[in-house]
Chain A
Amino acid sequence: MLRIRTRLVVTLAVAALVLAGCGGDDNSSSGGSVGSSNEIKVFAAASLTAAFTRIGEDFTAADGGTKVTFNFAGSQALATQIQQAAPADVFASADIPNMDMVKDLVGTPQSFASNLLAIVVEKGNPKGVKGLDDLASPDLKVVLAAPEVAAGKYAAEILGKAGVTVKPVSQEDNVKAVVTKVSLGEADAGIVYVTDVTAGGDKVEGVDIPEDQNVTATYPIATVKASNAQDKAQAFMDLVLSDRGQQVLEQYGFLPPPTT
């Protein structure tokens, strides 16, 4: 009994030391005293999860093993985190307003992709949703992203343009949660990015929103001024904007950025 307890104490002590060691490492890299850190932190909109994970792998392979850590969440949550001085090196937003929220804290943003929105329904479309007008039906449980979320803002814009009043049963905190509620069968329909329908797998399918009713979501990317790894952050941004990066984004259903 005593031996076991001693062993436990020793294990805990070792664990504490290891953890403390990690903390020290982290400090030295983010403190920038080493010169070049071996990790960059990319804050990216939830809808970019699959595409950016792939681009991150390419970056690590090309840049001598530099680790890319992602923080995927709603753009509005990421913007707030950056305002509260979260350690980000790159910020990729799903809309321009959230990038504008942090414009004093980031370099010059560049648009790198665009996305359209679609109605997401369960596989086989059991409720026979054909278009935006059907979403007004009281028999249909519709979930949207919250108005604070980029996807929610776009959905409101689309419904406003089409003159359709929808009473959602829930306003989800990010666009992926909308897809989840539909794929679980709890909701009948939602409005999400075209790319989320693709990423949603075989439980869901999309109903197109006609071009004249749709809006184009523009995705801007920028390096964060407070970053200690400016070079690597810029390199990541360059990769996203390069042909290779654009190819990956296209694979995941994104459209090229609007040409202006």
Chain B
Amino acid sequence: MTAGARHRRAGGGSRIPALLLVPAGLALGFLAVPLAGLLARTPWGNLGAELVTPRVLEALRLSLVCSLGAVAVSIVLGVPLAFLLARVTFPGRNLVRALTTLSMVLPPVVGGVALLLAFGRRGLVGQWLDQWFGITLPFTTAGAILAEAFVAMPFLVISTEAGLRAMDRRFEDAAATLGAGRWTILRRVTLPLIAPSLGAGVALCWARALGEFGATITFAGNLPGVTQTMPLAVYIALETDLQAAIALSLVLLVVSLAVLVALRDRWFPTA
């Protein structure tokens, strides 16, 4: 095989089979047309005015606070969990892994109901939080963060675990033989090696938290400035003020695109 032929093969070939092109084109259209619809109806003229209303700014601020809070919770709790899943063999590990990813496939509204039954004022855990510490989570910003972390954390765990499994552990062994302690190895060898997976996990986790709707409105309710994040504001606005809803949607769209672009080198390596 010549270098040229190999190159063609790697590039996908010059002839595109119609059998592939038609469904692929339909798929692309299916995914892209709704976005075009959003852009076509965007009130470009007064977009600026729509975006600086106090209600939008408040939702935007709250979305940032809640999504970053959810990412922080996910890092503090999720990364250790990823280490456990990747490095420690224990009975029932597959079950734990399935549990970890359950909230990814669970309908978010169901997640919200489950959170209420667990952390609500009468919930399994929530009633003790209320009685012992006077803490109630529903209808609070902390509750919104909890709801977002519940659905977003698996993205970080999965990505980090994959990174840990793929890395060459001989680097850690080498560092150990050179006298490095566990903390030093973690800081100087392991974390830098899994940094791309960790980074991708954080970005995905954040994007998912930012877009969270069902669990948040069910568990945390909807109050401007306290629990009404961007997706909730879009939903409520949609029923009375379509222009505002479109403007808000556009912001979420831009943020999602930015995350994808930032990740493109990792997932869509340019040939």
Q: CB within 8 Å of B: which residues of A?
A: 74, 76-77, 80, 141, 143, 146, 148, 168-173, 181, 184-187
**C-alpha gap A173/B214 in the complex (Å):** 12
Jot down 14 A-B pairs with beta carbons below 8 A, ordered by A.
A76-B240, A77-B239, A80-B240, A80-B242, A141-B136, A146-B222, A169-B138, A169-B221, A170-B220, A170-B221, A172-B222, A184-B120, A186-B120, A186-B139
Q: Return A59 CB to nearest CB of chain B, in Å.
A: 28
| A-B CB contacts (within 8 Å), total count | 54
**C-alpha gap A118/B61 in the complex (Å):** 35
**C-alpha gap A187/B236 in the complex (Å):** 21
Selected from B116, B122, B223, B240, the residue in CB contact (under 8 A) with A171 is B223
Known: A148-B240, A181-B221. 8 other contacts (CB 8 A): A74-B239, A76-B240, A143-B139, A148-B236, A170-B139, A184-B122, A185-B121, A186-B116
Q: Is B35 an interface residue (CB 8 A)?
A: no
Give the chain A neighbours of B224 by CB distance below 8 A. Answer: 171
Give the chain A neighbours of B221 by CB distance below 8 A. Answer: 143, 169-172, 181
Q: Return A51 CB to nearest CB of chain B, in Å.
A: 23
Q: Which of B212-271 contact A (CB under 8 A)?
A: 217, 220-224, 226-227, 235-236, 238-240, 242
Number of interface residues of B (CB under 8 A): 21
Q: Are A173 and B139 in contact, CB atoms less than 8 angstroms apart?
A: no
Q: Which of B126-171 contact A (CB under 8 A)?
A: 136, 138-139
Give the chain B neighbours of A169 by CB distance below 8 A. Answer: 138-139, 221, 223, 226
**C-alpha gap A76/B224 in the complex (Å):** 19
**C-alpha gap A225/B207 in the complex (Å):** 42
Give the chain B neighbours of A168 by CB distance below 8 A. Answer: 223
Give the chain A neighbours of B138 by CB distance below 8 A. Answer: 169, 186
Give the chain B neighbours of A187 by CB distance below 8 A. Answer: 139
**C-alpha gap A172/B227 in the complex (Å):** 11
Give the chain B neighbours of A170 by CB distance below 8 A. Answer: 139, 220-223, 227
Selected from B122, B217, B222, B240, the residue in CB contact (under 8 A) with A186 is B122
By Cβ-Cβ distance, the 10 closest A-B pairs, closest first, are A170-B221, A169-B139, A185-B122, A76-B239, A148-B240, A77-B239, A186-B138, A170-B139, A170-B223, A186-B120
Give the chain A neighbours of B217 by CB distance below 8 A. Answer: 173
